[in-house]
């Protein structure tokens, strides 16, 4: 049973500046985001660097996606049970270990293994948000959660130009040595300035539920990420989709019967949580389209008539301002949420993303246009992403915040994976011939932006149906006995 913070807890909070805690946790989130974008500059050269085929080299990306999807809800649940700081440090330790494996590798197998270990660090974001809920005073929660939730976008935008510069001017192994160093630095800062949360869920870990969810997610995301290479109508792809449906249905049945499930599906089915997660899928899809389209447009030769002919480093620098915008705008989401509620903040952010993509369809002719569009989209993402933890945590018990935020992060990952598959297929089929080489056409880029804009508008529509927060009932305010189910219509203290 979750234990409320004591007077000793409050004293400890007084001794540890909340700003330092927020900086330490946000820094860990940005480190994880940089890890994600680390290999983006290497993608065209990975087959040559690792002595592998193009399809084999794609596993360097796929491995991180799969382990991140599995680790996020599992680490969240373990954090609720055994300590969020402890699990956050475990995630960062796995990032360091994976970075060292990659830094010492020159072939495909160890590189894939190292990237799989790095993917386990994705649990840092939901764990960090949950620590903030436990440790920060209410007046600091909004802006702190906004910054932490936006750290994925911030780290990606800031880390991409640095990764590109390192990859272009030094040995590519330096990227992973740097990642290991950042991981050690983040672990040190967390150890020094973040205390362990006293809130615990108790009970036993649902190993069967973890294995079932892992198997279902692996089948689903493997089919999405590799379907283009294997063929969407191939037996392997269709078989994986079918297996994912069966496994996830069986897993859902198990979770509903389990006394202490990995994911409380009854809580997850509450409209406030369910609709927020659906909006997360759509926004994850929309967010990643920018990362797929704009770097290619910037680097295509000017002779194509629409490419801007910039180097890898310059392309990264053009997207860096969007990360700064996310950092500056994330507190705005907290103010919108405080005044109008996080539902309005989520809808506003998704609308800004749709506006950015809509403006980006005609604005593809100059570098300044690309920078402007990416900043508008980044601002919308920061506002929308910052609202999601507030919506989730207002509808789940405090002892389940890490698991619930982990599931929300997983939903974003599903959206990102779907975006990669859909936009990848779109650009592969809408091509133009340039010196005997098939390159994505201008219409292909514009169509990708149009789909992302429609996806963002769909997120606005989904968010519009999120019910307003109701005053918590007595049954929700009462501490839950171990193994006791919470009524589906009860709203816990948020």
pLDDT in tens, 246-302: 998 998 888 888 777 777 777 777 788 888 888 888 888 887 788 778 787 888 888
**Of 239 and 162, which is predicted with more confidence?**
239
Homologous superfamily (CATH) for 267-468: MFS general substrate transporter like domains (1.20.1250.20)
Whole-prediction pTM: 0.74
Above pLDDT 70, what percent of the chain?
Answer: 87
pLDDT tens readout for residues 151-198: 766 777 777 777 877 877 788 888 899 889 999 999 999 998 888 877
**Rounded average pLDDT over 9-36:** 72
Q: How far apart (Å, rounded) are the C-alpha atoms in residues 449 and 292? A: 10
**Rounded average pLDDT over 124-147:** 78
Q: How far apart (Å, rounded) are the C-alpha atoms in residues 480 and 261? A: 15
Angle at the Cα of 336 (from 194 to 467), degrees rounded to 5? 95
Q: How far apart (Å, rounded) are the C-alpha atoms in residues 23 and 17? A: 10
Q: What pLDDT sits at residue 183? A: 92
Q: Which residue matches tokens 């006293």?
A: 198
**Of 458 and 439, which is predicted with more confidence?**
458
Q: How far apart (Å, rounded) are the C-alpha atoms in residues 140 and 121? A: 25
Which band of pLDDT confidence, cut at 50, 70 and 90, is reported for residue 114? very high
Q: What pLDDT sits at residue 218? A: 83
Which band of pLDDT confidence, cut at 50, 70 and 90, is reported for residue 9? very low
Strand partners, 440: 431
Locate all alpha helices (DSSP H) within 259-311, ordered by sequence.
Answer: 265-268, 271-299
Query: What does the domain layout of the chain look like in residue ranges?
Result: 14-196, 206-261, 267-468
**Of 315 and 251, which is predicted with more confidence?**
251
Q: At what angle do helices 124-135 and 18-37 cross, to 10 degrees?
A: 170
Q: Which two tokens stand for residue 175?
A: 């990227």
**What is the CATH class of 14-196?**
mainly alpha
Which band of pLDDT confidence, cut at 50, 70 and 90, is reported for residue 482? very low
Q: Which two tokens stand for residue 81?
A: 């049970």
User: Is 267-468 the same fold as 14-196?
Assistant: yes
Q: Report whether 66 contacts 220 (CB < 8 A).
A: no
pLDDT tens readout for residues 318-334: 877 887 788 778 777 77
**Rounded average pLDDT over 69-96:** 86
pLDDT tens readout for residues 381-431: 888 887 887 787 777 776 666 667 777 777 877 787 777 777 777 877 777
**Rounded average pLDDT over 113-117:** 91
The gap between the terminal CA atoms of the chain, to the nearest Å, is 18
Q: What pLDDT sits at residue 89? A: 93
Q: What pLDDT sits at residue 469? A: 59
């Amino acid at each position: 049973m979750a234990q409320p913070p004591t007077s000793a807890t409050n004293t400890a909070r007084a001794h540890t500046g909340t700003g330092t805690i927020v900086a330490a946790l946000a820094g860990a989130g940005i480190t994880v985001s940089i890890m994600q974008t680390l290999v983006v500059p290497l993608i065209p050269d990975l087959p040559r660097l690792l002595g592998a085929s193009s399809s084999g080299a794609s596993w360097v990306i796929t491995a991180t996606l799969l382990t991140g999807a599995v680790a996020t809800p599992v680490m969240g649940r373990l954090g609720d049970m055994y300590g969020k700081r402890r699990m956050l440090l475990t995630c960062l330790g796995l990032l360091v270990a994976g970075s060292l494996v990659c830094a010492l590798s020159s072939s495909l197998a160890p590189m894939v293994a190292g990237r799989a270990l790095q993917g386990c660090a994705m649990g840092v974001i939901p764990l960090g948000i949950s620590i903030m809920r436990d440790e920060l005073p209410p007046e600091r929660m909004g802006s702190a959660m906004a910054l932490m939730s936006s750290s994925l976008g911030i780290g990606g935008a800031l880390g991409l130009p640095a990764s590109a510069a390192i990859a272009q001017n030094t040995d590519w192994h330096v990227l992973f040595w740097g990642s290991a160093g950042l991981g050690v630095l983040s672990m040190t800062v967390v150890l020094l300035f973040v205390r362990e949360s006293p809130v615990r869920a108790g009970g036993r870990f649902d190993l069967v539920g973890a294995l079932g969810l892992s198997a279902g997610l692996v089948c689903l995301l493997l089919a999405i990420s590799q379907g283009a290479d294997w063929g969407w109508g191939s037996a392997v792809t269709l078989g994986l989709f079918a297996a994912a449906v069966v496994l996830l249905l069986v897993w859902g049945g198990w979770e509903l019967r389990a006394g202490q499930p990995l994911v409380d599906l009854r809580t997850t089915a509450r409209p406030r949580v369910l609709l927020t997660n659906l909006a997360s899928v759509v926004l994850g899809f929309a967010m990643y389209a920018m990362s797929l389209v704009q770097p290619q447009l910037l680097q295509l030769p000017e002779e194509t008539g629409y490419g801007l002919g910039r180097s890898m480093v310059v392309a990264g620098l053009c997207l860096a301002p969007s990360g700064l915008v996310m950092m500056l705008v994330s507190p705005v989401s907290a103010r919108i949420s405080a005044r109008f509620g996080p539902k309005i903040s989520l809808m506003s952010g998704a609308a800004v993303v749709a506006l950015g993509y809509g403006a980006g369809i005609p604005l593809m002719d100059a570098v300044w246009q690309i920078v402007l569009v990416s900043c508008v989209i980044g601002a919308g993402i920061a506002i929308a992403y910052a609202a999601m933890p507030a919506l989730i945590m207002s509808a789940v018990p405090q002892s389940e915040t890490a698991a619930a935020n982990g599931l929300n992060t997983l939903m974003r990952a599903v959206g990102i994976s779907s975006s990669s598959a859909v936009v990848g297929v779109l650009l592969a089929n809408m091509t133009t011939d340039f010196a005997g080489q098939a390159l994505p056409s201008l219409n292909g880029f514009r169509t990708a932006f149009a789909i992302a804009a429609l996806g963002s508008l769909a997120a606005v529509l989904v968010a519009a149906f999120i019910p307003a927060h109701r005053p918590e009932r007595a049954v929700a305010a009462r501490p839950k006995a171990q193994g006791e189910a919470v009524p589906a219509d009860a709203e816990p203290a948020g």
